[in-house]
Amino acid sequence: VSHQKADWVSIHEQICQLLIPIRTSLPFLLSEKERKHGTEQLVKRQKYIIDLTYGTAQQFVWDGKHKEAIPAALHALRFGTEVYGSNSVRLVPAYLLLAEASAGVGNLPEASKYLSQAQWIVLGTPDCSAALQCKLHRSLGLFCAAEGNFEQALYHLANDIYLASSTFGLKSIETSGGYFHMANVFFRQNKMDIANSLYAEV
């Protein structure tokens, strides 16, 4: 009951009516053209739900409501898998969001599982964009920092900064996020000179 209530509060209320046409199977006696049109409409509805659920989960994470973000992000992942397949690079943002939300509620093993899945997909996608690789390294860096593994956190955040600066430019907002998180790691290590230098860069 508590899971159903969390799901309802998080996202289900918004998508409940949208699920009806998706869950209704197409009539059997349709022409090829009608079947094709029905399939196109189904995919269009599923993509709309993916955007809606992902956006809702993202907003919950930004608001610090990590527990509420998880059901919405799970829906985004489930529909993403239906539309794009289980190894699609398009699933990586949902996995990263689930990892962040899981870490936010203190469930680091679950966060690790989602990060591993995202990393596996990225490694298996040779033409994966630098922007997405950048997000993955940032998520891995923040996860390592949460675990207290500062050296590994700095390694991933350095990759984040490199990829962000080569993609968006040295003085971009995207790059400054990496500097900020790296500064926080140095701050936690009591390396104040380096931390202050990076904060100034931000």
Could you give the CA distance from residue 202 to residue 191 in angstroms, rounded to a whole number? 17
**DSSP characters over the chain:** -HHHHHHIIIIIHHHHHHHHHHHSPPPSS--HHHHHHHHHHHHHHHHHHHHHHHHHHHHHHHTT-HHHHHHHHHHHHHHHHHHH-TT-GGGHHHHHHHHHHHHHTT-HHHHHHHHHHHHHHHHT-TT--HHHHHHHHHHHHHHHHHHT-HHHHHHHHHHHHHHHHHHH-TT-HHHHHHHHHHHHHHHHTT-HHHHHHHHHH-
What does the alpha-carbon distance between residue 87 and residue 45 come to, in Å, rounded to a whole number? 21
Fold of 129-201: 1.25.40
Q: For residue 35, what pLDDT is reported?
A: 72
Q: Kindly list the domain boundaries of the chain, sorted by start residue.
A: 1-128, 129-201
Mean per-residue pLDDT pooled into runs of 10, the chain (202 residues): 51 58 59 75 85 92 92 92 93 96 94 97 94 96 94 97 93 93 96 94 91
Q: Could you check whether 1-128 and 129-201 share the same CATH topology?
A: yes
Predicted local confidence at residue 121, as pLDDT? 96
Give the model's pLDDT for residue 88: 94
State residue 33's pLDDT score: 79
Q: Tell me if the domain spanning 1-128 has CATH number 1.10.8.
A: no
The pTM for the full model equals 0.82
Q: What is the dihedral of CA 134, 92, 56, 5, to 10 degrees?
A: -130
